[in-house]
Structure 1
Amino acid sequence: MECVGELFRAMLLWKMKTMEMARASFAKGSRVYQIKTGRACAPHIQATTAAPPGPAACRESRNMFKKPVSSSGKTKIKSSVQRNIRQKICEQYPLLAPVIEDILPKKAQLDLIKAFVPDSVSEYCGEMRIVTRNRLTPDRISLYALDNQVLFFQSHDDAIMPHLKVVHKCALPDPQCFPKVQVDRGAIRFILGGAQLMCPGLTSPGAKLPPADENIPEGTVVVINAEGKEHACMVGILKMSTEDIKKLNKGNGVENCHYLGDGLWKLDSE
């Protein structure tokens, strides 16, 4: 019995020491992972050996709709607020103004849907994927819907962004309603997996960026077309200007905010 007691105490001390080391390492900013088992030392860190989405060695991503979206019902938006939203959309996307009546008529009733998605950050270092989750502070996303169809979305007070179905609809009469860039064919599968759009995918053969005199500044909402495809596959925010993407050709070029097949695309707003 004494041997069993000693063994139990030794195991308990070892476990406490391991937890202290993990907390200390995490507090210093370093990450301690068990790569073979895929387990993390900290409870809100998950490490896997999934293949990284692209050629860069390390990358960081934050996808609003990579996981299923849950909503808390919908409310009707007041006409004054609806006018303000419509005005902001036209100011943000001037080329959309001529067709805004077809997308969001003045007399139509716009609904607000509050969506909640897990707040997560992914990092790829070599071949190891690390997902950091904060379960206590989910993103609060405002979805603007007309006749149960989401048209635009907004995270907190950030830019109002179009649903891909709106982008596809606008591409029929005029493909220039939104600022756009094009990726090469090889980047498509990574985008549809929720990966961030890295600069090499925008500069390699098959990709297209605007000329220098049409430079798109950092922070602009852009739609992403793909080589050989008719419709856009992603909506994102430029992490650097298109000219800087050409010059640097490394790092995250566009933050992936919404892509074909993600939680927003699959959301049933009824």
Structure 2
Amino acid sequence: MRNNRLLKDSRNITVEEQLIMILNILDHKSKNRIVRSHLIRSGETVNRYFNKVLQVIICMRGRHMRQAPNDTPQEIVNNQLYYHYFKDCIGMIDDTHVDVMLPINLVARFRDRKGVTQNVLAACTPNKLFTYVLAGWEGSANDYKILQNALSRPQPHGFKVYDGKYYLCDVGYSTMPGFISPYRGVRYHLKEYSGKTPNNRRKLFNLRHSSLRSKIESAFGTLKNRFKILCAKPHYTFPIQVDIVLAYMVLHNFIVIVDPSDELLNESEINEDIDVMADNTSLSGKDNRKEKGVAPSQPPPPQSLH
């Protein structure tokens, strides 16, 4: 940040101390009074630099969060368990819910079965690098509706899908050009296959699909384990709470890039040994959702709330 002139030392506070303030709050959900006590700074100073550094981190999004390229990731190309089924896959999409603190008149709009949350749409590659994020939607918003809004936005803010390529998604989204969900009516959660061998092609496809798509679920788990503020209902205005989500995505990507062996990145991996067992079965025939042309009916185009 200093080298790129995004932050500079002030008369009394260095760039390092400015970063310490925001990282203490994001990583440990520390209150303003705790940070000002530790650093012997006023509450106004802590709050001012928190907002300043938060915006600087978001400004780095173009450097550390870029949309997926039009190439199949090496993690798929070099894995025969995935490549046979997903040779044109460039990533996975999913949503996650983040607790929010809101004025009483907005609570009903954001309430869902998980509480009062904002619904965050994200896309990532198999190495857990986020390539797109859209935050700020109501927790009660439909996943498909949020995706349609992301696709309708002009570039560079819209979600980009290339011809002939696609993302993996769960059954909350429809199978359509650019997106492939698992077969409906067939188990599709990885944990449901524990100790069981798929006995037909659809189940095997769903197993492979779930195994690869679990990477984004693992990435969400890493985020919430690292940045405790996500589970703390932070006492900030809602726009700041949305910015916090964007900032921790950028910080996550920075860590993935500079330290891929990070402990948190690897300890949340879902065990994929069951893939080896399934690969030894005698199932035959090629099964690909894109080639089968499976496309469930789609709901009418949504009207954006934003």
Q: Where on the TM-score scale, by shorter chain, does this alignment land: which range?
A: under 0.3
By relative contact order (CA 8 Å, sep 6+), the higher-ranking structure is: 2
Q: Which structure has the larger Rg over C-alpha atoms?
A: 1
Normalising by structure 1, we get a TM-score of 0.23
Q: Which protein has the bigger strand share?
A: 1
TM-score by length of 2: 0.21
